[in-house]
Amino acid sequence: MTNSPRPAPYLRIVADIRQRITSGELRAGERVPSTRRLVDDWGVAMATASKALAVLRQEGWVRAVPGSGTVVSDRVRQRPAARPGKPAEPALSRDRLVRAAIALADAEGRAALSMRRLAVELGVGAMSLYRHVPDKDELLRLMADTAFGAEELPEPGPPGWRAKLELAARVQWRAYRRHPWLAPILLNSLIRPPVVASGLRHVDWALRALDGLGLDRNVQLYVVITLNGYVGGIAVTNAFEVETEQDTGISGVQRQDAEMGLLTELLESGRFPTFAEVAGGVDTLNDLDELFEFGLQRQLDGIAALLAARQ
């Protein structure tokens, strides 16, 4: 028994757009994807995209409108509305799209997130997502804004700069632990991070904790960026651990065990005597929360020393 040959690329595009029209996702008079959009989304040549639209025009599904592009024909038959009493699917909105993307990234990692996979999860055509977000980069930014913004910072917060900055760091850490994909998005650059409203809110809140302490504006910003960079650095390690296990099924502990023989050989070679002595007296570093707590207090101690030196 042989498998049927896969339809030509232009026929797959035709079938996808036809299904979206008959289901009512694309209504009469609405624009269908342009040839450029089809090229980008399907990875086909411009000639293939043009052929798909030509077939749809020949079949009467779409028509060309000068100045507007290609739109759904007024004469096509579409699926009737759901019968009374049958629960309808929630209308696709930007909020629903973003929250579905967050749930998918939480469950399977950022690598599993694609516009096509997200469309399947939502039960809609992939092209319908582009009505709400122009591209995947914008979707990631909205996801980061929503996920980070879910972590509240109280007003005015606890008394004293140290308690405030400690709370800010813990709130960030909680968000990064809850959403491991978040740190690599927000911390792709410490000096030029993506513009995310909820991230700016956190920075503003932390800067206010340093008001009136004798630090100039430049130093205030450096303090907050340095602290955020510390939290984010630990969070990126957590992201790597989680995403590697999601991708491979191999945990960090398993990877470490697999390399234990090489590590033991290097430590016993005599080339790293101090590290060998220290490593022999401590437990294996597996607890990121413990490492975070230790480093956070040292960061705050350093800020305290800076403030004492300025007085």
pLDDT band at residue 192 using 50, 70 and 90 as cut-offs: confident
Give the chain's end-to-end CA distance (angstroms, integer): 85
Task: Give 76's pLDDT tier (boundaries 50, 70, 90).
Answer: low
Among residues 250, 251, 98, 202, which one has the least CA distance to residue 193? 202
Note whether 76 and 38 are within 8 A (CB): no
User: For 5-51, what is each residue's pLDDT tens digit?
Assistant: 566 788 888 888 888 888 778 888 888 888 888 888 888 888 888 88
Q: What is the mean pLDDT of residues 190-211?
A: 86
Q: Measured on CA atoms in the order 224, 230, 231, 237, is the torsion positive or negative? A: positive
- The pTM of the whole model exceeds 0.85: no
Per-residue pLDDT of 77-93, as tens digits, reads: 554 444 444 444 457 88
pLDDT of residue 67: 65
Residue 4 is predicted with a pLDDT of: 47
Residue 219 is predicted with a pLDDT of: 94
What CATH homologous superfamily does 94-148 map to?
Answer: Homeodomain-like (1.10.10.60)
Maximum Cα interatomic distance, the chain, rounded to a whole number of Å: 85
Average pLDDT for the chain = 82
CB 176 within 8 A of CB 231: yes
* CATH class of the structural domain 9-72: mainly alpha
Structure confidence at residue 2 as a pLDDT band (50, 70, 90): very low
Residue located via tokens 């049958």: 86
Question: What pLDDT was estimated at residue 86?
Answer: 44
**Which range in 20-24, 51-55, 133-137, 223-227 is most confidently predicted, on average pLDDT?**
223-227
DSSP 199-231: HHHHHHHHHHHTTTSS--HHHHHHHHHHHHHHH
Task: Give the pLDDT confidence score for residue 88 in this predicted structure.
Answer: 46
How many residues are given for the chain?
Answer: 311
Token pair belonging to 129: 């997502």
**Rounded to an integer, what distance in angstroms lies between the CA atom of residue 207 and that of residue 306?**
15
DSSP single-letter state for residue 190: S
pLDDT of 224 reads 94
Within the chain, strands assigned E span 62-65, 69-72
Domain ranges of the chain: 9-72, 94-148, 151-310
Position 298 pLDDT exceeds 90: yes
List the single range of 159-173, 177-191, 195-209, 240-254 with lowest mean pLDDT. Answer: 240-254
Give the residue, 263 or 247, on which the prediction is more confident. Answer: 263
CATH T-level assignment (fold) for domain 151-310: Tetracycline Repressor; domain 2 (1.10.357)
Note the pLDDT tens digit of each residue in 162-185: 999 999 999 999 999 999 999 888
Would you say 101 and 135 are in contact if contact means Cβ atoms under 8 Å apart?
Answer: no
Residues 6+ apart with CB under 8 A from 245: 251, 252
Same fold, 9-72 and 94-148: yes
Give the pLDDT score at 27: 83
pLDDT beyond 60 at 116: yes
Separation between Cα atoms, residue 177 and residue 235, nearest integer Å: 7
